[in-house]
Amino acid sequence: MNLPQDFIEELHRVLGDDTQSYVRSFSDPPFRGISINRLKTTPRQLLPLLDFRTEPSPFYQDGYYIPSDVQKIGSSPLHHAGAFYVQEPSASSAVQLLNIEKGDYVLDLCAAPGGKSAQIASLLSGSGLIWSNEVVRNRASVLVSNFERMGIANGIVSSCYPDVLCPALSECFDKVLVDAPCSGEGMFRKNPDAVNEWSREHVLSCAARQLSILQSAVSALRPGGIMVYSTCTFSPEENEMTVRQLLSLCPDMEPFPIDEPFGRKTDLDNAVRITPLEGGEGHFAARLRKSGSGPRRDLPQNKLPPQPREMLRAAEEFMDDIFVRRPDMSLRIIGERLYLMPKGISSLQGLGVIRAGILAGEFVKKRIEPAHALFSASNPSELRRVLPLTLDDPRTAAFLSGMEIDCSAPKGYTAVTIEGMPVGFGKCSSSTLKNKYPKSLRLS
């Protein structure tokens, strides 16, 4: 592996005598991992179902190493059902440092494709709120689709610049994560081509952008709230120096020391670095706190347009047909679409919001056609009709491929679960389930 000399010199500043061991590590396979999604399962239920070995990761309470040669993990029915998120092990460390508590409102400012948002939602267990923002619009769509797979109901996805979003959400969050775009040095073992894009100029331009994102992020945090800043790069300019600059520019931010037992120490007591020598591809995370204390502010609310009565009545009937016990969320009709929104969230405009809560269905000629997300985020015990499948049932692969399958459920819209986890739905009639698994997700 030919690494640029400038990069080796930079690395020497952070790794010292370990630099050569790092360079030698390029002959080993990269670390791989999963983070388990507690919205769908638990480690105890999931681990015996996996057909590969796992080992607990030191970086995250629900993180596990998987073998480097596991093939086609994204096609696994358990992955389709949102049981886990495939995540490089050290990338999970940042969320562990956020000290998520039930009921927290959390902003993930640079969120796509969504691994860290998935962790946050799992730790919130349906309480509080996860607001995931991604400035690049088509990457934000990937975020929506990952929210649906993981079954996240208490979430908002937006695509907005941090300097617009954060002042508009001033002091609305207990926790803010800034997993900033960076020069990606921690990806070099996984993606050797990325080395060719490395330059000192790129490192410095990333550092300037990171500082600007962080300065915006501060305003969204309530007094006493916690912020974690993370990157997947080793450079001190993008990491320690950026944190120092933020602290000098924002006197209301203070270091919040880290005592978690992982990674390698840095010369900041509130930051940790993980390299292949500590068991991860590469991550840096720093923890800060906003001085003072105080409650978070309410999210800004726009006045709700009147909800069309006829449509609302149809929506109530639709929900009663699907649920025995309805989720504790509000029904909202926006245009032809029906949403289930977290309580207390009405309408959010002008902040690039592309999803709030769950898309429940769409009005088509006075009928409501249910949406995939409604079933994927459901609790099967609250549904009227469920078709439970197991991993060894041939109907599981058939359903995920979009085929009609045998179904003994009563007539009507029926959730499909795999090993108890909701994965999608179909329409059951005459002992057959008409498949409604979205075409874009089907196994080919």
| Among 359, 440, 381, residue whose Cα is nearest residue 155 | 359
**Is 152 an interacting residue with respect to ligand SAM (CB under 6 A)?**
no
**Is 215 an interacting residue with respect to ligand SAM (CB under 6 A)?**
no
Between 79 and 209, CB nearer to ligand SAM: 209
Q: Residue from 10, 62, 104, 134 that binds ligand SAM (CB under 6 A)?
A: 134
Between 85 and 318, CB nearer to ligand SAM: 85
Q: Residue from 14, 111, 360, 383 that binds ligand SAM (CB under 6 A)?
A: 111
Long-range contacts at 63-68 (CB < 8 A, ≥ 24 apart): 63/33, 63/34, 63/35, 63/36, 63/87, 63/89, 63/92, 64/33, 64/34, 64/35, 64/36, 65/31, 65/32, 65/33, 65/89, 65/279, 66/32, 66/33, 66/34, 67/32, 68/29, 68/30, 68/31, 68/32
Q: Which tokens is 258 given?
A: 């880290």
Q: Are 63 and 194 in contact (CB under 8 A)?
A: no
**Is 286 an interacting residue with respect to ligand SAM (CB under 6 A)?**
no
Backbone angles phi, psi at 378, to 5 degrees: -85, 165
Between 215 and 346, CB nearer to ligand SAM: 215
Q: Residue from 209, 244, 297, 427 that binds ligand SAM (CB under 6 A)?
A: 209
Which span (11-19, 134-142, 304-312, 363-371) binds ligand SAM, by CB under 6 A?
Answer: 134-142
The least distance separating ligand SAM from the CB of residue 210, rounded to whole angstroms, comes to 9
The least distance separating ligand SAM from the CB of residue 134, rounded to whole angstroms, comes to 5
**Is 114 an interacting residue with respect to ligand SAM (CB under 6 A)?**
yes
Which span (97-105, 108-116, 167-175, 398-406) binds ligand SAM, by CB under 6 A?
Answer: 108-116
Q: Which tokens is 409 given?
A: 């459920």
Q: Are strands 405-406 and 432-435 parallel, antiparallel or unpaired?
A: antiparallel
Q: Residue from 14, 36, 97, 112 that binds ligand SAM (CB under 6 A)?
A: 112
Q: Which tokens is 268 given?
A: 């900041």
Q: Residue from 38, 80, 116, 296 that binds ligand SAM (CB under 6 A)?
A: 116
Q: Are 143 and 157 in contact (CB under 8 A)?
A: yes
Q: Are 332 and 343 in contact (CB under 8 A)?
A: no
% helix, strand, coil for the chain, step of 5: 35, 25, 40
**Is 162 an interacting residue with respect to ligand SAM (CB under 6 A)?**
yes
**Is 155 an interacting residue with respect to ligand SAM (CB under 6 A)?**
no
Is residue 164 within a helix (H) or strand (E), and if so which, with residue range?
Answer: helix 162-168
**Is 110 an interacting residue with respect to ligand SAM (CB under 6 A)?**
yes
Indicate if 250 belongs to the active site: no
Q: Residue from 121, 129, 135, 400 that binds ligand SAM (CB under 6 A)?
A: 135
Q: Are 92 and 58 in contact (CB under 8 A)?
A: no
**Is 324 an interacting residue with respect to ligand SAM (CB under 6 A)?**
no
Between 263 and 352, CB nearer to ligand SAM: 352
Angle (nearest 5°) at CA 380 between 53 and 324: 170
Residue 353 carries which DSSP code? E
Total residues found in the chain within this entry: 444
Q: Are 352 and 165 in contact (CB under 8 A)?
A: yes
Q: Residue from 139, 202, 297, 434 that binds ligand SAM (CB under 6 A)?
A: 139
The least distance separating ligand SAM from the CB of residue 190, rounded to whole angstroms, comes to 13
Check 160, 166, 206, 232 and give the catalytic one.
232
Between 204 and 397, CB nearer to ligand SAM: 204
Q: Which residues are catalytic?
A: 232
Please give the residue ranges that form the binding site for ligand SAM (CB under 6 A).
Answer: 110-116, 134-136, 139, 162, 179, 181, 209, 213
